[in-house]
Amino acid sequence: MTKMTVLEALNAAMAHELEHDPDVVLLGEDIGIAGGIFRTTQGLQNRFGKDRVIDTPLDEKGIAAHAVGMALYGMKPVVEIQFSGFIHDCIEQVMFCGAKYRWVLGGEYSVPMTIRAPSFGGIMGGIWHSHSPESYFAHGSGIKIIAPNTPQDAYSMLIAAIRDPDPVLVLEPVPLYRTLRGEVDVDLPVPEIGKAEIKRPGADVTALVYGPLTHKTVEVAESLSKEKNIDVEVIDLKSLIPFDIDTIISSVEKTGKLVIIHEASQTMGFGAEIAASVQSKAFGYLEAPIDRVCAPDVPHSYRVGDEFYIPNKDRIRAGIIKTMEAVY
Amino acid sequence: MSTQTDKKFTGNPREPVPVPLSRANELDIRQVLDSEGNVNGNISDPNLSEEEMRKFYEMMMLVRAIDDRGWKLQRSGRIAFWIPILGQEAVQVAVTCALDDHDWIFRAHRELAVWLLRGNSLEMMFAQFYGAEQEPLRGRRLPCLIGSRDINLISSTTQVGASLPHAVGAAWAAKLKGGKEKVLIFFGDGSASRGEFHSAMNFAGIHQPPVIMVCVNNGWAVTTPLDRQTAVDNFASKGDSYGVRNVRVDGNDPLALYTVTKDAHDNIEKYGPTLIEAVTFRLGYHTSSDNPDLYRHEQECELWRPWDPIRRTRLYMENKGWWDQSKEDALITLHQDEIQTAVTSAEAMDIPGPASQFDDVFAETNWMLEEQKARILSEVSEGSSDD
């Protein structure tokens, strides 16, 4: 066991895969000498060379597109998009080429590429540095989407993504990169993509969350337990495509109440899909309307976005209390 | 072949522009044959053997016969769509023959010849037109978009040009992994306007992977002529901006095409990537959903007819004493018989069932897909009830 920040865990995961699999290459803007603008890949080009850790032109679509071609040939490219606010230029290449090639080519080829997308708000980054792009990628087929938010998950789930035979989008928790440090056991088995984790067991209400907000939600749950005697079960979704329906349904059958929390804007956010699935599978267990605590349908403001756009602890708390009070 | 081109002017097309192939020297277009099949060009005759020339000619003839039949199958409602090839047979045949079989080819929309030149069957080609379960793409792609891993032929993305960086990326990966394969991609003049053209040329210039990019400039991107696609008068020179070697070639001259492609292929370690602009002309419709009467004057097609690649090749072979009318008649009969057999075979094949569309979304399925599949299978019978 070693203590690492999220950033160090991601770096260690890439180093491990570069060392053990000659087909793994990293591509991105400024990832070589500097190690990327966040320093996630720091030291890797010196260690593995310029043919394995490749500085690319400033062309997000081009990076993703060339990675698709490399993956078709049999390599395992790991693409860094500098900020997920810049990822939308890649949507056609990732969603309508990379994620579709296995199917359109009759199952004869695969595209084992990983797209690392530094995501989420919390660094006073304004609209294009605070983005949650998951819904654009979830509304398609052929790509998996994961959102690790601890050093251990960052390490293990990035390795799982790199080894996966299909494209995987990794939503990396930018605000936790350097602020969260924790134990990483590099010998743990590589996890299956698609499993959620119960972060805090509880009996009264289920709070479903992913990304950096998971930590805030656990804090809210602890305070609600002490102050209002509300026992919140917090589930960290961890994987959006596919998502762990069994863990969610078991929890809702127990609590009868569900609050979904995410920092992407509300309309067509991923919470809508979860809510639709839960009502169709556990309608008889629901004691209150499913609530969503999300960002509003406005862009993320530089000055106040981190406080009022991303759900803060007040809003998460209010959503849970409202759901508790709404029992039929 | 008259079906695709016999049309009356109904729209408001531009004035026909002269055939650039008639000014090959002035326009820096590599050429071996003149319009009458004489060796009279600016590069020398590669002096292919009679056997090799017959292969070129017979394949171009077969492609034209397939094109004619495919068009009729679409017009009679037996298949849903067709992408005509008429007038562009030389590029796909000569370029493919200049490569090794292990080289990867990324297609555009009209390259049916690759399939046959690399040994796949006419029966399975027609199976693809009919969307049969047995063909490699399992009925998922529109007619003509054939491809198969066994011959290193990758079916096109329908977003034209989007696969240009895939070819460059695959070539780059081959270089990094020490593979022997080179990669070639066909794309159209319209594709050169997309961002991926820029991305692919830029990355290719920097990393020098073993890739050949063949711009099949057929004069028209659906209804849009060249002067509305780009302000410069050729596509090859765009390579200069990226440090990519480039060459213009007569796209209706199989001897020039073969020479230029073979040179780019065999010297790829010296040259790096090459952008080849093959200057040709789409005599037919863009697709079966098109109507050139609205935007193109028939007179423009008439100007190109003497430059028809099959006509020029036949004249060349007749001059050599390698071809005559009796051989021509026998070949046409043979092709008609082979095509009829393939049509009959394809019409007897199975169409994919509703479950097969769920295969290959991922390497392994997941509960979300399985749940959707189970529901659809429980609610529908084989075959649509909406007919």
DSSP for B129-187 reads HTT-TTSTTTT-S-TT---BGGGTEEPPPSSTTTTHHHHHHHHHHHHHHT----EEEEE
- Residue B331 CB partners (closer than 8 Å, separation 6+): B58, B61
pLDDT at B357 over 70: yes
CB contact under 8 A, A66 and B199: yes
- Decide if B169 and A67 are in contact by the 8 Å CB cutoff: yes
Is residue A200 scored above 60 in pLDDT?
yes
Residue type for B137, please?
L
Residues A165 and A206 placed together within one structural domain of the fold: no
Domain count, chain A: 2
What is the CA B71 to chain-centroid distance, rounded? 16
Q: How far apart are CA B172 and CA B158, in angstroms?
A: 23
Are A170 and A210 members of one domain? no
pLDDT at A327: 81
Instruction: Inspect the interface and report whether the beta carbons of B177 and A67 lie closer than 8 Å.
Output: no
Specify whether A129 is catalytic: yes
Residues A10 and A156 in one domain: yes
A180 and A205 together in one domain: no
Among A134, A163, A184, give the residue marking a domain's end: A184
pLDDT score at B4: 54
Which band of pLDDT confidence, cut at 50, 70 and 90, is reported for residue B15?
Answer: confident
Which residues from B are below 8 Å from A73, CB to CB? Answer: 104, 169-170, 173-174, 177, 179
Instruction: Let me know if residue A167 belongs to a domain.
Output: yes
Answer yes or no: is A192 within a domain. no
Q: Does residue A92 sit at the B interface (CB-CB below 8 Å)?
A: yes
Ranges assigned E (strand) in B263-314: 274-279
How much is the pLDDT for B211? 98
Quick check: B362 and A102 CB within 8 A? yes
CA-based nearest residue to A167, from A146, A150, A151: A146
A115 neighbors A146 (Cβ within 8 angstroms): no
CA dist B221 → A210, B192, B301 (Å): 46, 10, 15
Q: Which residues in chain A are contacts of B152 at CB distance < 8 A?
A: none
Would A171 be classed as within a structural domain? yes
Residues A115 and A245 in one domain: no
Whether pLDDT at B7 is above 70: no
pLDDT in tens, B105-132: 999 999 999 999 999 999 999 999 999 9
d(CA B278, CA B215): 6
Is residue B134 within 8 A of residue B350, CB to CB? The reply is yes
* Cβ(A239)–Cβ(A194) below 8 Å: yes
Distance from CA of B113 to the nearest CA of A (A): 19
Q: How far is CA B139 from each of CA A96, B232, B250, B381, rounded to the nearest angstrom?
A: 18, 40, 35, 19
Q: How far apart are CA A242 and CA A277, in angstroms?
A: 13
B257 close to A (CB below 8 A): no
β A144-146/A239-241 pair status? antiparallel
Tell me what pLDDT residue B1 has: 44
Cα-only R_g, chain A = 20
CA distance A202 to A200: 6
A286: closest CA of chain B, how far (Å):
22
Name the token pair of A23: 């087909």
Q: Which domain holds residue A305?
A: 197-325
Give the mean pLDDT of A245-250.
98
| Domain match, A128 and A211 both | no
Identify from A48, A70, A100, A144 which residue to disrupt to test chain B contact, counting B C-beta atoms within 10 A and taking the largest count: A70
- Tokens representing residue B225 in the block: 């002529």
Domain assignment present for A190: no
What gap in Å lies between CA B127 and CA A47, rounded to an integer? 51
Same domain? For A147 and A229 the reply is no
Q: Look at A122-126, A204-208, A214-218 and tell me which has the smallest mean pLDDT.
A: A122-126
Place of tokens 């992408």: B83
The whole-angstrom distance between A165's CA and the closest CA on chain B is 7
Whether the CB of B177 is below 8 Å from some CB of chain A: the reply is yes
Tokens of B90: 């030389």
Facing residue for B363 by CB, picked from A22, A69, A165:
A165
Please tell me if residue B339 touches chain A, with a CB cutoff of 8 Å: no
Q: What is the rounded average pLDDT of the residues B211-232?
A: 94
| Beta carbons of B361 and A96 less than 8 Å apart | no
| B198 chain-A contacts, CB cut-off 8 A | 59, 62
Spatial distance between the Cα atoms of B248 and B239, rounded to a whole number of angstroms = 11
CA B160 to chain centroid: 12
A308: domain CATH number? 3.40.50.920
> Where does chain A show beta strands of DSSP type E?
2-5, 24-28, 53-55, 76-80, 114-119, 144-146, 168-173, 181-184, 197-200, 205-209, 232-236, 239-241, 258-265, 291-295
Specify whether A226 is located in the same domain as A175.
no
Q: Say if the Cβ atoms of A142 and B361 lie within 8 Å.
A: yes
- pLDDT tens for B273-323 read 999 999 999 999 999 999 998 898 889 999 999 999 999 999 999 999 999
Nearest-angstrom CA–CA distance, B271 and B387: 57
- Cα–Cα distances (Å) from B275 to A251, B250, B278, in that order, read 59, 14, 10
Tell me if A107 and B174 make a contact (CB, 8 A cut-off).
Answer: no
pLDDT over 80 at B13, yes or no: no
**Whether residue A242 has a cis bond before it, omega within 30° of 0:** yes
Looking at the DSSP assignment, which residues form a beta bridge with residue B279?
Answer: B217, B250
Q: How many CA atoms lie within 13 A of B317 on its CB side?
A: 26
Residue B70: which residues within 8 A CB-CB, separation 6 or more?
B79, B82, B129, B143, B144
* Averaged pLDDT, B257-272: 98
Q: Does B103 touch chain A (CB under 8 A)?
A: no
- The residues near A67 (Cβ < 8 Å, ≥ 6 apart) are A27, A77, A79, A98, A113, A115, B169
Residues of chain A with Cβ-Cβ distance to B361 below 8 Å are: 102-103, 141-142
**Do residue A107 and residue B359 have CB atoms under 8 angstroms apart?**
yes
- Indicate whether A45 belongs to any domain: yes
A222 and A309 fall within a common domain: yes
Answer yes or no: are the C-beta atoms of B205 and B275 closer than 8 Å: no
Residue A230 lies in a domain: yes
Q: Are residues A243 and A278 in the same domain?
A: yes
Q: The dihedral of CA A33, A38, A41, A43: what is its sign? A: positive
* Chain A CA closest to residue B103: A73
Mapped onto helix, strand or coil, the DSSP state of residue A292 is strand
A208 and A152 together in one domain: no
- Residue A1's pLDDT is 86
Residue to substitute from A66, A144, A243, interface B, most B β-carbons within 10 A:
A66
Instruction: Give the three-state DSSP class for B296.
Output: coil
> Beta strands A232-236 and A205-209: pairing type?
parallel
Q: Which of B197, B361, B367, B370 to mutate to test the interface with A (most CBs of A within 10 A)?
A: B361
Residues B372 and A168: their CA atoms lie apart, in Å, by: 22
Residue A38 and residue A32: Cα distance in Å, rounded? 12
CATH number at residue A149: 3.40.50.970
Query: Which of B176, B197, B201, B357 has the most A C-beta neighbours within 10 Å, making it the best mutation to test the interface with A?
Result: B176
What distance in Å separates the CA atoms of residue A193 and residue B177, rounded to the nearest whole number? 28
Residue A42 sits at the vertex; the CA angle it makes with A41 and A43, to the nearest 5 degrees, is 115
Let me know how long chain A is. Answer: 328
Candidates B120, B213, B360: best to mutate against A (most CBs of A within 10 A) is B360
pLDDT score for A223? 98
Instruction: Give residues 50 to 79 of B whose Cβ lies within 8 Å of A.
Output: none
Identify which has the larger pLDDT, A187 or A308: A187
Mean pLDDT value of segment B48-66: 98
**8 Å CB contact between B4 and B284:** yes
Report the mean per-residue pLDDT for chain B.
Answer: 94
Rounded Cα gap, residues B382 and A207, in angstroms: 43
- When pLDDT is averaged across residues A271-300 and rounded to a whole number, the result is 97
pLDDT surpasses 80 at A285: yes
B chain contacts of residue A245, beta-carbon cutoff 8 Å: 367
Mean pLDDT in residue range A11-37: 97
At which of A184, A217, A232 does a domain end?
Answer: A184
Exactly one of A66, A129, A131, A215 is catalytic; name it.
Answer: A129
Cα A49 to Cα A41: distance, rounded to the nearest angstrom: 12
Q: Please indicate, yes or no, if residue A253 is contained in any of the structural domains.
A: yes
Is the CB of B149 inside 8 Å of chain A's CB atoms?
Answer: yes
Q: Catalogue all structural domains in chain B, each as residue range(s) with its CATH number.
A: 2-352 (3.40.50.970), 353-387 (no CATH)
ipTM: 0.95
Considering CB atoms only, which of B179, B196, B360 is closest to A103? Answer: B360
Query: Do the chains contact at A104 and B179, CB–CB below 8 Å?
Result: no
In terms of residues, how long is chain B? Answer: 387
Residues A84 and A130 placed together within one structural domain of the fold: yes
Query: What percent of chain A lies above the pLDDT cut of 90?
Result: 97
In the prediction, which pLDDT does B182 show? Answer: 98
Question: What is the rounded CA–CA span in Å between residue A203 and residue B54?
Answer: 80
Task: Give the DSSP H/E element, type plus range, for residue B214.
Answer: strand B211-217
- Nearest-angstrom CA–CA distance, B85 and B67: 6
B136 touches chain A (CB under 8 A): yes
Beta bridge partners of A76: A24
Alpha helix positions (H), B208-285 = 254-266, 268-271
What is residue B2's predicted lDDT score, i.e. its pLDDT?
A: 44
CB B104, CB B170: distance < 8 Å: yes
Give phi and psi for B9, each to the nearest 5: -60, 125
Q: Which of A25, A51, A103 sits opposite B140 (nearest CB)?
A: A103
Nearest to A106 among B138, B165, B179 (CB): B138
Contact B207, B171 (CB under 8 A): no
Listed residues A122, A154, A184: the one ending a domain: A184
Assess whether pLDDT exceeds 90 at residue B10.
Answer: no
Q: Measured between alpha carbons, how far is B384 from B353 in angstroms, rounded to an integer?
A: 10
In a domain, A19, yes or no: yes
Residue B214, strand partner residues? B186, B276
The tally of CA atoms less than 13 A away on the side-chain side of residue A122 is 21
Interface of A with B in 238-297 (CB under 8 A): 241-243, 245
